Amino acid sequence: MSNDLLLETEDLVKVFGTFRALDGLNLQVHAGEMVGLVGPDGAGKTTTMRLLCGVLEPTSGHIRVAGFDVPRQVERAREHIGYLAQRFALYGDLTINENLEFFGKVFGIPDAERKARSQELLNFAGLQKFANRRAIALSGGMQKKLGLATALVHRPDVLLLDEPTGGVDPVARQEFWHLLVGLLRGGSAVLVSTPYMDEAMRFNRVIFMNKGRVLTEGTPRELMSRLDGRILELAAEPQMAAHPIAAADPDVQDVHAFGDRLHLRVREAAGPLARLPGAVAAAGLHLTHLHPVAPTLEDVFMYLLEQ
Ligand X SMILES: Nc1ncnc2c1ncn2[C@@H]1O[C@H](COP(=O)(O)OP(=O)(O)OP(=O)(O)O)[C@@H](O)[C@H]1O
State how far the alpha carbon of 206 is from the alpha carbons of 67, 203, 223, 239, in Å. Answer: 23, 6, 8, 32
Q: Is the CA virtual torsion 182, 183, 186, 187 positive or negative?
A: negative
Nearest to 182 by CA among 212, 205, 150, 149: 149
Among Mg ion, ligand X, none, what binds residue 232 when CB lies within 5 to 8 Å by partner kind? none
Residues 6 or more apart whose Cβ sits within 8 Å of residue 263: 231, 232, 233, 255, 256, 257, 293, 296, 299
User: Which residue ranges make up the site for Mg ion (CB under 5 A)?
Assistant: 45-46, 86
CB of 56 to Mg ion, least distance (A): 13
* Residue 42 interface partner, choices ligand X, Mg ion, none, CB cut-off 5-8 Å depending on type: ligand X
Q: Binding partner of residue 47 among Mg ion, ligand X, none, CB under 5 to 8 Å per kind?
A: ligand X
- Give whichever of 19 and 221 is closer to ligand X, judged by the CB atom: 19
CB nearer Mg ion, residue 47 or residue 118: 47
Q: What residues line the site for ligand X (CB under 6 A)?
A: 16, 19, 21, 39, 41-47, 86, 195
Distance of closest approach, residue 16 Cβ to ligand X, in angstroms: 3
Shortest spacing between CB 207 and Mg ion, in angstroms:
14
Provide the minimum distance between the beta carbon of 15 and ligand X in the complex, in angstroms, as a whole number.
Answer: 9
Nearer to ligand X, 19 or 306 (CB): 19
Q: Which is nearer to ligand X, 55 or 269 (CB)?
A: 55
Amino acid at 165: T
Nearer to ligand X, 52 or 190 (CB): 52
In 3D space, the residue among 192, 195, 166 whose CA is nearest the CA of residue 43 turns out to be 195
Cβ count within 10 A of residue 87 = 8
Residue 21 contact partner, candidates Mg ion, ligand X, none, CB within 5 to 8 A by sort of partner: ligand X
Query: In angstroms, rounded to a whole number, what is the distance separating the alpha carbons of residues 206 and 227?
Result: 16
Q: Which amino acid is at 243?
A: H
Cβ at position 86, least distance to Mg ion in Å:
5
User: Of 204 and 210, which CB lies nearer to ligand X in the complex structure?
Assistant: 210
- Minimum distance from CB of 1 to Mg ion (Å)? 28
Spatial contact of 273 and 290, defined as CB atoms under 8 Å apart: yes
